[in-house]
Copies of this chain bind each other. A is one copy, B any other.
Amino acid sequence: MNNRSFSIEEQGLLESILLSRRDVRGNNFTNQALTEDSINKILHAASLAPSVGFSQPWEFVVIRDIAVKQQIAASFELENDNAKEAFSGERRRLYSSMKLEGIVEAPVNIAVFYQPPSEPVLGQNTMLEMGEYSVVCAVQNMWLMSRAMNIGLGWVSILDPNRVKDILNAPPANKLVAYLCLGYVEAFLDRPELETNKWQAKKSLGPAVHRESY
């Protein structure tokens, strides 16, 4: 199984999934329910991620309860009001016009935590962030598997992580890495919304690639 060779067509399919993945917000989720089987497939994809020293340091809280979502959404509202202060004039107006999360609209939210190790981890000594980075790899696996299942996913980062931990009764040592909203969508947009509305242009790769050294 693992030693199998993939074809050019199969590479092309992976590229198509990467290209089609979008950050989905509340103006695009439908209210079609997500089954437990779908959630389990997405969590299984997470568990196939690489992790430093095979530490598998991820934990998940699957949220369907509207009362929990509403508390999280209140943290978003507070932090988003602060966040828009960083922008002024036309950019502040554009910022304020955007729907940036789908906490309440998405049928399922998943909070993803990093659980720090109780013993030394192989490979996590000079670059301590490797544990968190492993959890991010798991999130990207979830995102791609969701897209392959025609399920939308949005990552909400405009939250107070300590407030989210309190709401979810998370162990003090755990770190919130990602807060995800999942559900079926009206449509997967052709391009990122922030590109279409000219908030941020697509960068060309050339200037970001150096040879041998900077």
Contact = CB atoms under 8 A, between A and B. Distances in A.
Contacts of A144: 14, 144
A157 B170 contact: no
Contacts of A205: 43-44, 47
Contacts of A158: 123, 125-126
Contacts of A48: 15, 18-19, 21
Given A120-B87, A160-B126, A149 B11 contact: yes
A1 B23 CA distance: 16
Interface of A: 1-6, 10-11, 13-23, 41, 43-45, 47-50, 52-56, 58-65, 68, 79, 82-83, 86-87, 95, 100, 120, 122-127, 129-130, 132-133, 136-137, 139-141, 143-145, 147-150, 155, 157-161, 167-171, 176-178, 187-192, 194-195, 199-200, 202-203, 205, 208-214
5 contacts: A14-B45, A18-B45, A54-B192, A61-B213, A144-B144
